[in-house]
Amino acid sequence: MTRLLVTVSTRKGLWILEADARRRAWKMDGPHFLGQTVHHAVVDPRDRRTLLAAVKAGHLGHTVFRSDDLGRTWEESSAPPAFERAPEGQPGESVAHVFWLAPAHATEPGRWYAGTSPQGLFVSDDAGRTWKAMAGFNAHPDRRKWIGDAQDAPPDGGTLHSINVDPNNPRHIYFGCSSGGVFESRDHGATWHPFNRGCAADFLPDPKAEYGHDPHCVRVHPVSGDVYQQNHCGIYRLDRARGRWERIGRHMPLEIGDIGFPMVLHPRDPETAWVFPMDGGTVWPRMPIQGKPAAYRTRDGGATWERQAKGLPPAQAWYTVKRQAMTADALDPVGLYFGTTGGEVWASFDEGDSWKCLTLHLPEIYAVEAALAG
């Protein structure tokens, strides 16, 4: 029987929501890692039973836990992601936390990538048991120039996130750095280059800066390889033929704008995507515009957008949906899920046309992922 799992990673633990393919009755498993921050928890779509979780206690170093039975039992990584040791007498970097976990290509079972704060890229070839630094980025001579220093980082520290592998080429990888921009490798991570042409960076003096951007969430379509991003400065789609990003967020309603954190792609149709706009005015409240939460869906690659708020609070809802806290399942019709900083998980089983609340009262939600298992 197909099991649908939704992992809910929070500031103080991990919960796993489960339903069958009809998505009518849900049960909740957890907490796992109670009291510890879980930045991301991801089921391996290649075997549908391995689950990795990025964990950090408030007063201890970070680590990665893995499970071969979808969270019934956990094993800690024996070598969590860590930067190379600096030469004697030179300052070195330390991973503050693992922010993002991503399985590699379908043809590379057991291979995973991890992104960290500060911005570092790591790889595991044994399903998360051990990790090693990817020198192609971490030791790149331009890395410091690309990502800046602490003054360029968000308040919780810079992050490397949105690691995506081209479904048609396992050696072609993308990720986002906040700050830093979108980066691309075509040689399995050996070399990287910034890929931000056409993307705005209103906070940089050079409007055509090559790097230093803030991509909140980058998604690669799992079939076509089309690339979208919700950026600090708008919603974009990559025009591969022209080698530049096009601001499809210009077609959003003016009173809503195109600022937000997550972006979700339809698992089969590369023209369909969702965003969850946030107020990016004045001091960047980063909450639903006027306290009225809504998703926006495009069915035509960003040329038009429609508001999807049925079932959501009509007013006075003041929360943030973080960049990794909205996702889709692979069922038909597609199910959508988002978690809020107020500890609510909302779902739609009709591709965003209507929403219902699955659970309340969880800690601040950092990440939501859906997966089929069994």
| DSSP E strand stretches across 154-257 | 159-165, 173-178, 181-185, 193-194, 215-220, 227-231, 234-239, 244-246
Beta-bridged to residue 174, according to DSSP, are 164, 184
Tokens of 72: 């019934």
Give 78: exposed, middle or buried? Use CB within 10 Å, 0-12, 13-18, 19+: exposed
Phi then psi for 289, rounded to 5 degrees? -60, 125
Residue 367 CA to residue 9 CA, distance in Å, equals: 5
129 binds another protein (CB under 8 A): no
- State whether residue 43 is helix, strand or coil: strand
Q: Which is nearer to another protein, 57 or 135 (CB)?
A: 57
281 near another protein, judged by CB under 8 A = no
User: Cβ 96 to another protein, closest distance in Å?
Assistant: 9
**Pairing between β-strand 227-231 and β-strand 215-220 as defined by DSSP bridges:** antiparallel
Q: Least separation, in Å, of the C-beta of 340 and another protein? A: 18
Q: How many residues bind to another protein according to rule CB under 8 A?
A: 19
Site for another protein contains 318 (CB under 8 A): no
Q: Is 60 in the site for another protein (CB under 8 A)?
A: yes
Q: What is the 3-state secondary structure (H, E, C) of 97-144?
A: EEEEEEECCCCCCCCEEEEEECCEEEEECCCCCECEECHHHHCCCCHH
Both tokens of residue 307?
Answer: 């508001």
Does 86 sit near another protein (CB under 8 A)? yes
Rounded least distance, CB 59 to another protein, Å:
4
- Report how far apart, in Å, the C-alpha atoms of 112 and of each of 40, 124, 267, 293, 341 are: 13, 5, 20, 34, 27
- The reply to whether 24 sits near another protein by the rule CB under 8 A is no
Stretch touching another protein by CB under 8 A, among 85-93, 162-170, 221-229, 317-325: 85-93
CA atoms of 62 and 218, how far apart (whole Å): 24
315 scored as a contact of another protein (CB under 8 A): no
Q: CB of residue 242 vs another protein: minimum separation in angstroms?
A: 42
Letters for 87-116 (x = contact with another protein by CB under 8 A, - = none) are ----xxxxx---------------------
**Per CB under 8 A, 364 contacts another protein:** no
By beta-carbon proximity to another protein, the closer residue of 79 and 357 is 79
- Contact segment (CB under 8 A) with another protein among 57-65, 189-197, 222-230, 340-348 equals 57-65
210 binds another protein (CB under 8 A): no
Does residue 156 bind another protein (CB under 8 A)? Answer: no
Give the nearest distance from C-beta 362 to another protein in angstroms: 16
CB of 226 to another protein, least distance (A): 37
Nearer to another protein, 231 or 341 (CB): 341
Strands, E assignment, 33-69: 37-43, 51-56, 62-67
Q: Which is nearer to another protein, 24 or 361 (CB)?
A: 361
Can you give the binding site for another protein, defined by CB under 8 A?
Answer: 57-61, 63, 76, 78, 80, 82-86, 91-95
